[in-house]
Amino acid sequence: MSALTLVLKDKSATSLDLSALTPAALSGLKPTALRRLRIPAGGRQAALGDLFEISGDDPRTLRLHGLHGGCHRVGHGMREGRIEVKGSVGDELGREMRGGELRVSSDAGAGAGMGMRGGFIQVNGSASDALGGLTPGATRGMNGGVLIVTGNVGARCGERMRRGLVVVGGDAGDYLGDRMLAGTILVLGRCGAHVGFGMRRGSLLLAQAPASAAPNYRDCGEFEFGVLTLLKDYLAGFHPAYAKRLAAFSRARRWCGDMLYGGTGEILVAADG
Amino acid sequence: MKINGVTIDNTFAEAFPMKATRIIVTARNETWVEHAVRAMTGFATSVIACGCEAGIERRLKSSETPDGRPGAAVLLFTMSNKELIKQVQNRVGQCVLTSPTSACFAGLEQGDPIPLGKNLRFFGDGWQLSKKLGAKRYWRVPVMDGEFVCEENTRVVKAIGGGNFLILATDQDSALAASERAIVAMQKVAGVIMPFPGGVVRSGSKVGSKYKTLPASTNHLFCPTLKGAVRSELSADVGAVLEIVIDGLDAESISEATRVGVLAACRGRKHGVLRISAGNYGGNLGPFHFKLRTILK
C-alpha cells in the first residue's frame, strides 16, 4: 500500500473546503466513492476526482500536493493518521484537531489550530492571525496538542488558549497570549504590542524582551527554572532544533501577571534576550 | 549444597505481596540528592512500625533523570495503596519538598496513579503553577530558593516484600564482613532495596510473642546466646547471625539479589561463614517462596 496522494489539478480553484479529507474519513472508501466525494468549492459542490489527481490507496497517510491559500480547513477535526501538505493552506488549518500529525510545507492562513485539542501541527512557513485561537462562539481556544510555526505569526496567537504548546520560530504579532487561560507559548523571534493582555495563567516564553513592557506585569527577577528542562525534553520529541534553542532560557527573567486577572500567568524572557 | 565451603540450607525465604512505587529525586548536586533521599527513606526499615519500607535503589546520573540533574531512585513498599498514598505524601512533603534545590518525579510508567505532587501543590497557597507536557502534569510550587517541581502522580505496582537470607558465621566480625560484601553486590541489582540499616538486620524476628501486645519478637532459635537454652537452629560453632531482608518489584529481582548476595557473602578465604539459611514461617504466611538451592543452582 502507498500513501493516498491528491494533487490539485486546477490551481485557480479557490474557496475549497477540504474538511472532509482526513485519514479517518477517507478510510474504507473505494476508489470510485473517493473520486465522487463532494467537496464545497466556491459556492458549489465539486467531485474530488474533478479537483484532484488521485493516486495511492492508504489514507492513514494523506498527501495533499499543490495546495494554495484558497484551500481551507485542512485536517479539520482530524483524530488520527498523518496529513502532509505540499504548498500553502488557507484558514482554519487543523481546526478542532484531536490527534494525528499534520505538516504543511509552506504558509497557513488565519485560525490554524483553532480549538485544537490534541495532535501535532507543523507549519514550515508563516501563519496568519488567531493561531491556536477560538472557534466561533467558544470561550476557550487551543486545549491541547503541539503547534509549531517556523515562520512568523499574526495577531492574537494563543487567544484564550487553555492547554498545549505553541512554538513560533519567527516573530509574533500583537496581543500574543491574549486572555490566555493556561498552556505554553514559545516565541523565538520578536513579539508585538500588548503581550499577555488579560492572561490568567500559563507561560509565555520569549527569546527577546518585548519592545514595550506589558503594563500589568510585575518583574520577579531572574532565575533558573527546572521546568524548562522538562519542556526542552518534551519539545525535542517534536522539533529537536527548537528544543536546543531553549538553552537560551537556562536563566530567565520572570514577569508575573496579568495582575488585573490574578497574576498567576507569567512571561519568561531569556536572560540574554 | 556447598559454596566455597559454606553450607546452603535446603530451605526457602517466605515473602508476601506488597504495594510499591519508585520515585526519582533530583537536586543541584549529589550532596543534596543524598540529603533528600536519606531523609525520605529514614525510619523506613519495617512496615511493622514504620508505616513503610523504603530505600535508595540506585543513584542516577544527570543523563538518567527527567530534569538533567543528579538524582536517585527510591523505592517505597507498603501493605496497602492507602498507606502508600499517606507515606508518599508525608515523606515527599516533609523530606523532599523541604530539601534545597530538590525536584521529584515518578519512576514507573506502569501501574495505578497515586498523588505525588497533586496534593503537595497546595503548599503553594494559590501561587502554584501547573505545566502539562503530553500526558504528564507537573506542579511548580514557589519556595524560598526558587521552585519545587514535582510530577502530579506516581505509579503503584504489585510488589514483594520479605525476601531474605541469613548469614551464619563463626563470630560477629565474620558475619558483618560477609553482610557488607553481600550488600555491595546486591545494590547493583535493579528493582530491589534492602531496607534495614546498611541493608543488614541483626534482630531477626518471629511472628508473635509471649507478651500479648507484641506482634513480633526475637527469633530465639537463631540467637547464639540462647543455644543452650532453646531448641536452637544453630550449631555449636555459630557465634553470630545476620539477616538481609529484600523488598523487590518482582520475584526475579529478589531472586537475583539473593543469588549475588549469597555468592558475595561466601566469597574469599577464611571468611568465617558457616551456613546460609533463610527465614520462613512454614509456608503459611506468604505466597512467595524463594528456595535457596534453586536460586543458587
Give tens-digit pLDDT for A136-160. Answer: 999 999 999 999 999 999 999 999 9
Nearest CA to CA, how far is A264 from chain B (Å)?
Answer: 7
Distance (Å, whole) CA A128 – CA A11 = 21
User: Rg of chain A's alpha carbons, rounded to an integer?
Assistant: 19
Mean pLDDT of the region A25-41:
95
Within 8 A of B134 by CB-CB distance, chain A residues are 234
Within 8 A of B62 by CB-CB distance, chain A residues are none
List the 64-103 stretch of B: residues with Cβ below 8 A of A. Answer: 66-69, 103
Whether domain A61-270 has CATH 2.160.20: the reply is yes
Give the orientation angle of helix B251-265 with respect to helix B172-186, to 10 degrees: 140
Side-chain half-sphere of B266: how many Cα atoms within 13 Å? 21
DSSP state at residue A112: T
B135 inside 8 A of chain A by CB: no
Domain positions in chain B: 2-14+161-295, 18-157
DSSP state at residue B96: I
List the 9-48 stretch of B: residues with Cβ below 8 A of A. Answer: none
Q: Do B146 and A223 touch (CB under 8 A)?
A: yes
List the 139-158 stretch of B: residues with Cβ below 8 A of A. Answer: 140, 146-147, 149
Architecture of domain B18-157: 2-Layer Sandwich (3.30)
Q: Do A165 and B133 touch (CB under 8 A)?
A: yes
Q: Backbone dihedral region of B232: left (phi > 0), alpha (psi from -120 to 50 degrees) or beta?
A: beta
Give tens-digit pLDDT for A237-257. Answer: 999 999 999 999 989 999 999
Same fold across B2-14+161-295 and B18-157: yes
Q: Is A11 helix (H, G, I), strand (E, B) or coil?
A: coil
Nearest CA to CA, how far is A270 from chain B (Å)?
Answer: 17
Domain positions in chain A: 61-270
Q: Do A231 and B67 touch (CB under 8 A)?
A: no
Within 8 A of A119 by CB-CB distance, chain B residues are none
ipTM of the complex in this document:
0.93
Within 8 A of B139 by CB-CB distance, chain A residues are none
Q: Between A and B, how many CB-CB pairs are < 8 A?
A: 45
Q: Do A227 and B132 touch (CB under 8 A)?
A: no
DSSP state at residue A172: B
Give tens-digit pLDDT for A56-99. Answer: 999 999 999 999 999 999 999 999 999 999 999 999 999 999 99
Q: Where are the strands (E) in B102-253, listed by range? A: 103-106, 112-115, 129-133, 136-143, 146-151, 153-169, 192-193, 205-207, 216-218, 240-248
Per-residue pLDDT of chain B (297 residues; tens, 9 = 90+): 999 999 999 999 999 999 999 999 999 999 999 999 999 999 999 998 999 999 999 999 999 999 999 999 999 999 999 999 999 999 999 999 999 999 999 999 999 999 999 999 999 999 999 999 999 999 999 999 999 999 999 999 999 999 999 999 999 999 999 999 999 999 999 999 999 999 999 999 888 899 999 988 999 999 999 999 999 999 999 999 999 999 999 999 999 999 999 999 999 889 999 999 999 888 877 899 999 999 998
Q: Which residues of B143-172 are buried (b: 16+ CB within 10 A; e: fewer)?
A: eeeebbbbbbbbbbeebbbbbbbbbbbbee
pLDDT tier for residue A273 given thresholds of 50, 70 and 90: low
Q: Do A225 and B147 touch (CB under 8 A)?
A: yes
Nearest CA to CA, how far is B100 from chain A (Å)?
Answer: 13
Which of A220, A227, A255 has the highest number of chain B CBs within 10 A, making it the mutation to test binding with B?
Answer: A227
**pLDDT at residue B238 in the model:** 97
What's the CATH number for B2-14+161-295? 3.30.70.520
B49 inside 8 A of chain A by CB: no
Give tens-digit pLDDT for B130-183. Answer: 999 999 999 999 999 999 999 999 999 999 999 999 999 999 999 999 999 999
User: Rg of chain B's alpha carbons, rounded to an integer?
Assistant: 21
